[in-house]
Amino acid sequence: MLLLALLLPASALAELEISDARIIDLPPSVPVRAGYMTIRNPSPLAVSIDAIRSDAFASVEIHHSVMQDGMVRMDPVDKLRIAPGASLQLAPGGLHLMMMLADEPIRPGDEVEIILQLGDGSEQPLKMKVIK
In a domain, 5, yes or no: no
In a domain, 8, yes or no: no
- The predicted pLDDT at position 131 comes to 97
Which residue positions in the chain have pLDDT lower than 50? 1-13
- The predicted pLDDT at position 70 comes to 85
In a domain, 109, yes or no: yes
List the CATH number of the domain containing 82: 2.60.40.1890
- The predicted pLDDT at position 14 comes to 55
In a domain, 21, yes or no: yes
In a domain, 95, yes or no: yes
- The predicted pLDDT at position 119 comes to 95
Beta pairing, strands 17-24 & 123-131:
parallel
Number of domains the chain is built from: 1
In a domain, 122, yes or no: yes
pLDDT in tens, 67-93: 888 888 889 999 999 999 999 999 999
Domain span at residue 120 reads: 13-131
In a domain, 3, yes or no: no
- The predicted pLDDT at position 128 comes to 98
